[in-house]
């Protein structure tokens, strides 16, 4: 089906998310929407899917205008969407999730009977909406076979890895016979190998005549899969480009200025071991082991990057290191045993912690910027004497640090929740780097940030390393790992399957992230500190 | 979904929802001087104080309708509306105005007392209604503070009634079973009441902290346990039943344990009212100016962020509930030691549940709780006089109180009713919607 | 908005396996040490038929102390089983039921052993349990309806109360009990509609809302009671009640018949509602959609389910169900309305729903437990057992605290329960 968006405009408050966007997608085309975080891609697609009502503009399918006021209308118009945050009910089975909203029901029927020669035919009764679970299961199996998306219809979604959950989402759209399929940042949760699988499926669907819109902020991916790339910046379409366009040109279009793709940093000068983790085990939410037997060290003046697909134990690792989650094994910081210490003690001992979920764990949205800047030091001088808070000192230090870290806010009393993602992250970073830290534990430091903020945060992290701190970065963005890490640890299913140098090729790294290279990691690069976990910690 | 707003620092509604992306920095809160235009703007945009006043107004109107609709005189007058329309309207007006003026005279001041004062009457009588209001407000302010402190730490204290009983039992026992010099005795009883309430509150906090059980269920259940415990203790001669009694009544406490009068003998304001004001001031300081309060507010706004910042969330829960229980216990002390009647099986009345409404109306801020407590005290005190003077049951006051809180909790409805513009400013919701898992 | 609801992070400081085992063993020790050793001399007699009933079953006679010893041993045995073995889920529930049953039987044999007043009337006890449970069951079902769709309903108490008031007034004024039943259920529905509007449209915190609605319902019914019902009692509070309906054949079965099939219409409505809601929620399209809305409203929205409409409908239906429960309190039993007649049943129903893990059948089981302890208290006081009735009245609440804290401390409510759904 040919899809056309004409003059779509949508603003939230004072912010124009979409500014007269025009877009035409032909049947059998894969169109990439490339743009920074916050450029308005998702808003545009939510307009298409009826989740957001545009202020202006219209949607046309095969040159006919269609009114899309809700997802119901979108589904009826055969538009399907795989959302960035999966729209799956965790406690439902795959089959229930896939069929939800277009469930099959079965009628009750009495069996045929033969009463002494009197034959009573089966009597159909109204269905009362009773679910036909067997049919639902068959539907899922049939679709999963047809498109090579292997899946167990009876598995609970919450038990499935994210990559599989995505397959469920795709099947969901296919069950509704979508002829326009929108995929919003689908590769964020996939290994490079799984990404290739996804691309194969996308091509198959395209060749079957479907139109596909692929939303991404990753240059290489859009170059690999798209037939045409549409670049969006600050709510406006800034141009269409063929996939052969160079990285630099696309990046410049996307950001609006030429971008330095790599942070410039000097080679690391690792000194003494700061963080020493031995045989760390963590139990997950449902009693399974989500971190298994981790042993590693981080030295002063080096950045260890933990690479891996989201959901392989990285979150649990960070929380265990901070004492937020019970674990076994030992954790030493500068020789001090922190294995059983509370979060507070760990923070006091000199760990700076930038949590993965900024708005949930890193900040209190309704607190002022000033209060957020003392969230973990509020009871220490000069901010407190006894149990009394020193409001003047709190405000004075906040004003200073807001300037130092270039936090764009009208006042230090503004609620932090109203700042942009980048500025929120700057507040967190300013807080954690604002005191003497021996170890900086940073999880997904630039998730959802614009390029400017990413550059800022990256520079600060490198600066901390150069000032002699040990830095542990967990990121599912390979580009970030390559940009920052002096050494890479790859996590897969709760284990570190390999340590490798940042010179490792993306292909090899992808293989390791998929668990494929655990045995072969030795050939990643024998010198330069890349070891299998068994041999790891003995460079001194 | 992000929480809507919060105690302490308010967020423009909706701002948090869009802040994920590149939300524009919000304008600083307009905390300007109270100029004429500022007031007009505040009214037009429905700031929280305006919303509250309008909510009180709407609740009084609905209450008035209720009074009218159930007044047989008025209904008869309307039956004959066809040939005497004027009578119908005047009967309606008489019904409402007499009820509400009795309410006003019983709680704020009665013009009659002024003229009486000129003719040799008592000047103190002029202030009698206000003193009555303060007396009625005293226990409500304290239970309101109890609920408020839990709110600020992100928890819902429906158990002020049970904690009240805990305090009342200790204060009563200390009051009749222990003999001490006059001032010391009263002080010991007050401290005992705080401790008694605090123990009951502590149980809730401790169980929640250790097992994760939801405090709403725990407090509701503990209330019923305490009601029955009170009845049990007051119905056994070997426990706390007054000697020679068959009713569920405790012995009268010693005169030395009574709180001194300030405005006059009950039902006029006593030292209890000063205790309530002092507690509010102390709590205000604790919440806004101390590290303890900072922890409370952080846990209340975001337990996960608090945990990541090294705050021991469970300990905060326990401490907050301990203080909440203590404040409810103080409320009991003002009744047990401030009135002449001994403790009975239903002395707890509705102080606990009124505390919830008072805390909500006061937006969980100590100063607001004092104001809200005074308002509800006035309604309670005036309601009694209204019933005596006009025969309108005082229960209508409970409806009015409920409506006020309901309307205050729904600013969009008030804006809709009065066609106010949607303000960019703070939504006056006191407590964030969180659900069972919050 | 997080896509997959983050699981509630609760610090587990008590190992539940040991806790369950410990509780069972403690119950067993109480059976033996309290009920066994302090048993009165003589046998406990359980009468299984009402006097004059036909067919008449003989009463069961057991030695008081030994019964408690045996039951206590069984309970301890169950505790040990739980301690040493990791049993499947259904078996866990079975052990809980078993330990509770042992405790109750041993309590009963203790109370009746050597009692001069007469045998324990088992039929009375069970009948009373069932009727005492009706408002609790209906209230808990109302709670399930609301909370499965994602709206917390603390206002069950107010819905019961308002339903009771309206049912009494209408039944009395019109002389028609059926009209009273309908009016009562509609009154509950009206309060449900208020809850829905304020929770869904105005996004008021639902726990606050429920409490406030209860305050308003109490104030309003008290006011109207004083103002209208007391002065005009003959017109508005005449005390009309439903008659008893004996189900033919079934009501003649010994024990089962009089307990389950010899009551008024409310018990049969309750049976029907339990069945319909349990099957409806877990076997039908409607139920799947309701649960999706309660777990993940955004996901439901993206597949074309009308989230807000689903919630409105469920909350109002829930109110209607609670209203029927309220009507039972007046038109179904005593007939007259009195001030605060629901006396906290709504809150107990709420506890029953949570106790029953937000499922209809679980709620019913919990409600029956509460109803039983309430009825037991009545029976025991008629047997003149020297236990203060206040202590017995306390028991279900203490049990709930223990249950919520220990045995079912980690219940998982619907993920979006209490969270308003706001579209961008």
CB environment C335-350: b (16+ within 10 A), e (fewer): bbbbeebbeebbbbbb
Pairing of strands A211-216, A228-233: unpaired
DSSP structure class, residue A268: P
Structure token digits, residue C252: 């003649």
Does the pLDDT of residue A535 top 50, yes or no?
A: no
Residue A465 scores a pLDDT above 60: yes
- With a cut of 50, say whether residue C356 has pLDDT above it: yes
C36 pLDDT band, cuts 50/70/90, is: confident
Structure tokens at B164: 């009240």
Confidence label for B189 from pLDDT (cuts 50, 70 and 90): very high
| Better-scored residue on pLDDT, A526 or C204 | C204
pLDDT for res C198:
93
* DSSP codes, A285-324: TTSSEEEEEEEEEEETT-EEEEE--TTSSHHHHHHHHTTS
Instruction: Search chain A and give the residue with CA nearest C422.
Output: A51
Contact indicator for A500, A490 with CB cutoff of 8 Å: yes
The chain A residue lying nearest C303, using CA atoms, is A101
Residue B310 confidence (pLDDT) above 50: yes
CA distance B397 to B63: 8
Q: Which two tokens stand for residue C7?
A: 């699981």
Of A3-7, A178-182, C251-255, where does mean pLDDT reach its minimum? C251-255
Label residue A517 by pLDDT band (50, 70, 90): low
- Structure tokens given for B193: 């009441």
Identify the pLDDT of residue B88: 82
Quick one: what percent of chain A has pLDDT higher than 70? 90
Which one has a higher pLDDT value, A271 or A522?
A271
| DSSP-derived 3-state class of residue A381 | coil
Rounded to a whole number, what is the distance in Å from the CA of C416 to chain A's nearest CA?
11
Across C84-109, average pLDDT: 82
Q: Average pLDDT, whole number, for chain B?
A: 83
Does residue A478 have a pLDDT over 70?
A: yes
Residue B76 CB-half CA count within 13 A: 4
Write the CA distances from A172 to A79, A142, C137, integer angstroms: 12, 12, 38
Task: Check A413 against B28: CB less than 8 A apart.
Answer: yes
Rg (CA), chain C: 23
Whether the Cβ atoms of residue C262 and residue C251 lie closer than 8 Å to each other: yes
What percent of chain B has pLDDT above 70? 85
Cα separation, C213 vs C160, whole angstroms: 12
pLDDT tier for residue B370 given thresholds of 50, 70 and 90: very high
Q: What is the mean pLDDT of residues A370-375?
A: 94
For residue C7, what pLDDT band results from cuts at 50, 70 and 90? very low
Complex-level ipTM beyond the 0.95 threshold:
no
Select the more confidently predicted residue: B83 or A233.
Answer: A233
- Average pLDDT in the B74-81 region? 79
pLDDT digits (tens, 9 = 90+) for A302-352: 999 999 888 788 989 999 999 999 899 999 999 999 999 999 999 999 999
Task: Quickly state the pLDDT bin for A117 (edges 50, 70, 90).
Answer: low
B434 pLDDT band, cuts 50/70/90, is: low
CA dist C60 and C44 (Å) reads 8
Q: Is the pLDDT of residue A533 over 70?
A: no
Q: Are B71 and B90 in contact (CB under 8 A)?
A: no
Task: Please check the confidence at residue C192 and state whether its pLDDT lies above 90.
Answer: yes
Q: How many CB atoms lie within 10 A of CB B340?
A: 10
User: Has residue B364 got a pLDDT over 50?
Assistant: yes
CB-CB under 8 Å, A410 with B16: no
* Mean pLDDT for all residues in chain C: 85
Buried b (16+ CB within 10 A) or exposed e, C14-44: eeeeebbbbbbbebbebbbeebbeebeeebb
pLDDT tens-place string over residues A434-458: 888 999 999 999 888 888 888 889 9
Pick the residue with more confidence: A69 or A125?
A69
User: Could you tell me which chains touch chain B, where touching means 3 or more CB pairs under 8 A?
Assistant: A, C
What are the tens digits of pLDDT across the range A148-204? 778 899 999 988 877 788 889 989 988 888 899 999 988 877 877 788 888 988 998
Instruction: Say if residue A1's pLDDT is above 70.
Output: yes
Domain ranges of chain B: 127-376
Q: Which residue would you say has higher pLDDT here, A289 or A53? A: A53
Q: Are the beta carbons of B25 and A12 separated by less than 8 Å?
A: no
* pLDDT tops 50 at residue B272: yes
> Are the beta carbons of B5 and A366 separated by less than 8 Å?
yes
Sheet holding A439-443, edge to edge: A351-354, A439-443, A470-474, A303-307, A487-492, A495-500
pLDDT in tens, C271-280: 999 999 999 9
Chain-chain contact of C401 with B222 (C-beta, under 8 angstroms): yes
Cite the DSSP H helix spans in C149-204.
156-174, 177-196
Longest dimension (CA), chain B: 76
> Locate tokens 């979508």: which residue?
A178
Nearest-CA distance from C223 to chain B in Å? 5
- Place A521 in a pLDDT band, splitting at 50, 70 and 90: very low
Chains touching A, CB cut-off 8 Å, 3+ pairs: B, C
> How much is the pLDDT for B120?
76
**Is C8's pLDDT higher than 50?**
no
A344: contact with B, CB 8 A cutoff: yes
The domain B127-376 having CATH identifier 1.10.3470: the answer here is yes
The 3-state secondary structure of chain B reads CCCCCCCCCCCCCCHHHHCCCCCCCCCCCCCCCCCHHHHHHHHHHCCHHHHHHHHHHHHHHHHHHHHHHCCHHHHHHHHCCCCCHHHHHHHHHHHHHHHHHHHHHHHCCCHHHHHHHHCCCCCHHHHHHHHHHHHHHHHHHHHHHHHHHHHHCCCCCCCHHHHHHHHHHHHHHHHHHCCCCHHHHHHHHHHHHHHHHHHHHHHHHHHHHHHCCCHHHHHHHHHHHHHHHHHHHHCCCCCCCCCCCCCCECCCCCHHHCCCECCCCCCCCEHHHHHHHHHHHHHHHHHHHEHHHHHHHHHHHCHHHHHHCCCCHHHHHHHHHHHHHHHHHHHHHHHHCCCCCCCECCCCCCHHHHHHHHHHHCCCCHHHHHHHHHHHHHHHHHHHHHHHHHCCCCHHHHHHHHHHHHHHCCHHHHHHHHCCCCCCCCCCCCCCCCCCCC
Q: Give me the mean pLDDT over the A459-480 stretch.
A: 91
The answer to whether A14 contacts chain B (CB < 8 Å) is yes
């Amino acid at each position: 089906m040919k899809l056309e968006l004409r003059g779509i405009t949508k603003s939230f408050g004072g912010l124009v998310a979409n500014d007269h966007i025009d877009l035409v997608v032909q049947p059998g085309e894969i169109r990439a929407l490339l743009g920074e975080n916050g450029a308005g891609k998702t808003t545009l697609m939510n307009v298409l899917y009826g989740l957001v009502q545009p202020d202006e503009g219209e949607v046309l399918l095969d040159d006919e205008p269609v009114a899309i006021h809700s997802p119901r209308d979108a589904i009826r118009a055969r538009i399907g969407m795989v959302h960035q945050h999966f729209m799956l009910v965790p406690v439902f089975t795959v089959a229930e999730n896939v069929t939800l909203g277009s469930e099959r029901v079965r009628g009750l029927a009495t069996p045929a009977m033969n009463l002494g020669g009197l034959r009573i035919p089966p009597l159909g009764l109204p269905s009362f909406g009773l679910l036909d679970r067997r049919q639902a299961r068959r539907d899922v199996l049939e679709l999963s076979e047809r498109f090579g998306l292997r899946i167990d219809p009876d598995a609970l979604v919450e038990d499935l890895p994210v990559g599989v959950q995505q397959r469920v989402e795709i099947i969901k759209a296919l069950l509704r016979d979508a002829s326009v399929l929108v995929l919003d940042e689908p590769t964020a949760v996939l290994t490079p190998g799984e990404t290739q699988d996804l691309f194969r499926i996308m091509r198959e669907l395209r060749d079957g005549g479907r139109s596909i819109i692929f939303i991404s902020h990753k240059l290489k991916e859009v170059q690999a899969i798209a037939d045409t790339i549409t670049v969006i910046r600050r709510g406006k379409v800034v141009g269409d480009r063929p996939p052969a366009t160079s990285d630099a040109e696309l990046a410049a279009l996307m950001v609006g200025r030429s971008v330095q793709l790599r942070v410039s940093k000097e080679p690391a000068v690792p000194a003494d071991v700061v963080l020493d983790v031995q045989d760390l085990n963590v139990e997950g939410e449902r009693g399974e082991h989500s971190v298994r037997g981790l042993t590693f060290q981080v030295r002063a003046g080096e950045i260890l990057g933990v690479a891996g697909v989201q959901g392989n134990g990285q979150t649990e690792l960070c929380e265990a290191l901070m004492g937020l989650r019970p674990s076994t094994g030992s954790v030493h910081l500068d020789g001090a045993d922190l294995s059983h210490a509370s979060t507070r003690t760990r923070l006091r001992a000199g760990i700076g912690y930038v949590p993965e979920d900024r708005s949930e764990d890193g900040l209190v949205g309704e607190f002022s910027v000033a209060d957020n800047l003392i969230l973990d030091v509020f009871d220490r001088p000069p901010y407190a004497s006894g149990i009394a808070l020193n409001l003047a000192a709190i405000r004075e230090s906040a004003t200073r640090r807001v300037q130092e870290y270039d936090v764009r806010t009208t006042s230090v009393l503004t609620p932090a929740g109203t700042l942009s993602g980048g500025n929120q992250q700057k507040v967190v970073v300013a807080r954690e780097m604002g005191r003497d830290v021996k170890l900086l534990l940073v999880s997904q430091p630039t998730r959802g940030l614009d390029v400017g903020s990413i550059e800022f945060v990256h520079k600060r992290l490198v600066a901390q390393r150069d000032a002699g701190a040990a830095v542990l970065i967990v990121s599912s963005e390979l580009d970030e790992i390559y940009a920052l890490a002096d050494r890479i640890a790859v996590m897969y299913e709760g284990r570190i399957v390999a340590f490798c140098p940042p010179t490792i090729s993306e292909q090899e790294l992808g293989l390791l992230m998929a668990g494929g290279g655990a045995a072969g990691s030795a050939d990643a690069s024998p010198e330069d500190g890349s070891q299998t976990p068994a041999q790891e910690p003995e460079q001194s | 979904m992000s929480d809507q707003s919060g105690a302490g620092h308010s967020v423009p509604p909706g701002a948090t929802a869009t802040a994920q992306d590149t939300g524009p920095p919000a304008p600083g809160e307009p905390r300007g001087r109270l100029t004429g235009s500022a007031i007009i703007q505040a009214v037009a945009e429905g700031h929280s104080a305006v919303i509250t006043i309008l909510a009180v107004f709407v609740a009084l109107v609905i209450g008035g309708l209720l009074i009218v609709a159930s007044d047989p005189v008025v209904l008869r007058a309307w039956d004959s509306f066809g040939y005497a329309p004027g009578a119908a309207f005047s009967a309606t007006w008489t019904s409402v105005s007499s009820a509400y003026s009795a309410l006003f005279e019983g709680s704020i001041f009665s013009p009659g007392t002024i003229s009486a004062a000129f003719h040799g009457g008592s000047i103190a009588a002029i202030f009698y209604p206000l003193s009555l209001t303060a007396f009625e407000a005293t226990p409500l302010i304290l239970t309101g503070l109890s609920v408020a402190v839990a709110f600020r730490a992100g928890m819902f204290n429906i158990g002020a009634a049970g904690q009240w009983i805990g305090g009342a039992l200790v204060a009563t026992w200390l009051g009749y079973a222990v003999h001490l010099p006059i001032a010391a005795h009263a002080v010991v009883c007050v401290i005992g009441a705080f401790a008694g309430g605090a123990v009951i509150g502590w149980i809730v906090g401790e169980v929640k902290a250790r097992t994760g059980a939801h405090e709403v269920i725990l407090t509701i259940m503990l209330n019923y346990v305490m009601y029955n415990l009170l009845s049990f203790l007051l119905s056994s001669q070997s426990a706390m039943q007054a000697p020679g009694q068959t009713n569920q009544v405790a012995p009268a406490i010693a005169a030395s344990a009574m709180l001194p009068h300030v405005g006059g003998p009950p039902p006029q304001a006593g030292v209890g009212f000063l205790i309530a004001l002092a507690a509010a001031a102390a709590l205000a300081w604790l919440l806004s100016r101390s590290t303890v309060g900072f922890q409370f507010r952080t846990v209340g706004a975001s337990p996960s962020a608090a945990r990541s910042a090294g705050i021991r969330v469970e300990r905060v829960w326990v401490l907050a509930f301990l203080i909440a229980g203590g404040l409810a216990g103080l409320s009991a002390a003002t009744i047990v030691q401030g009135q002449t009647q001994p403790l009975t099986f239903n002395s707890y009345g509705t102080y606990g549940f009124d505390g919830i409404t008072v805390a909500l109306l006061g937006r969980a801020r100590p100063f607001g709780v004092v104001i809200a407590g005074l308002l509800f005290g006035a309604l309670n005190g005036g309601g009694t006089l209204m019933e005596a003077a006009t025969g309108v049951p005082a229960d209508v006051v409970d409806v009015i109180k409920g409506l006020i809180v309901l309307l205050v909790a729904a600013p969009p409805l008030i804006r809709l009713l009065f066609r106010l513009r949607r303000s960019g400013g703070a939504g006056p919701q006191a407590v964030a919607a969180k659900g069972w898992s919050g | 908005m997080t896509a997959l609801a983050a699981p509630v992070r609760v610090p587990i400081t008590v190992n539940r396996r040991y806790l369950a085992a410990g509780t069972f063993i403690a119950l067993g020790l109480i059976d033996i040490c309290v009920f066994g050793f302090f048993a009165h001399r003589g046998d406990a007699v359980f009468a299984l038929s009402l006097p004059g009933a036909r067919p008449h079953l003989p009463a069961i006679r057991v030695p008081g102390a030994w019964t408690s010893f045996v039951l206590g041993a069984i309970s301890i045995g169950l505790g040990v089983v739980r301690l040493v073995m990791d049993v499947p889920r259904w078996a866990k529930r079975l052990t809980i039921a078993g330990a509770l049953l042992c405790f109750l039987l041993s309590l009963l044999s203790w109370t009746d052993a050597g009692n001069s007043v007469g045998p324990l009337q088992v039929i009375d006890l069970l009948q009373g349990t069932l009727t005492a449970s009706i408002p609790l069951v209906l209230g808990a079902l109302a709670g399930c309806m609301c909370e499965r769709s994602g709206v917390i309903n603390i206002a069950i108490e107010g819905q019961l109360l308002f339903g009771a008031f309206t049912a009494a007034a209408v039944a009395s004024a019109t002389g028609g009990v059926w009209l009273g039943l309908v009016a009562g259920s509609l009154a509950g529905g009206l309060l449900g509609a208020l809850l829905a509007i304020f929770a869904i449209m105005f996004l008021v915190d639902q726990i606050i809302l429920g409490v406030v609605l209860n305050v308003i319902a109490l104030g309003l019914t008290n006011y109207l009671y004083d103002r209208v019902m007391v002065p005009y009692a003959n017109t508005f509070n005449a005390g009309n009640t439903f008659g008893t309906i004996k189900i033919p054949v079934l009501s003649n079965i010994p024990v089962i018949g009089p307990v389950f099939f010899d009551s008024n219409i409310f018990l049969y409505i309750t049976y029907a509602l339990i069945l319909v809601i349990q099957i409806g929620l877990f076997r039908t399209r409607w139920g799947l959609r309701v649960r999706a809305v309660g777990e993940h409203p955004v996901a439901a929205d993206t597949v074309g389910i009308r989230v807000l409409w689903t919630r409105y409908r469920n909350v109002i239906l829930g109110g209607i169900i609670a209203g029927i429960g309220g009507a039972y309190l007046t038109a179904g039993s005593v007939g007259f309305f009195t001030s605060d007649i629901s006396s906290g049943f709504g809150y107990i129903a709420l506890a029953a729903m949570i106790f029953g893990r937000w499922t209809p059948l679980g709620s019913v089981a919990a409600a029956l437990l509460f109803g039983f302890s309430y009825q037991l208290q009545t029976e025991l006081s008629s047997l003149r057992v020297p236990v203060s009735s206040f202590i017995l009245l306390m028991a279900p609440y203490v049990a709930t605290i223990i249950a919520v804290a220990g045995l079912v401390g980690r219940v998982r409510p619907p993920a979006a329960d209490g969270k308003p759904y706001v579209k961008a």
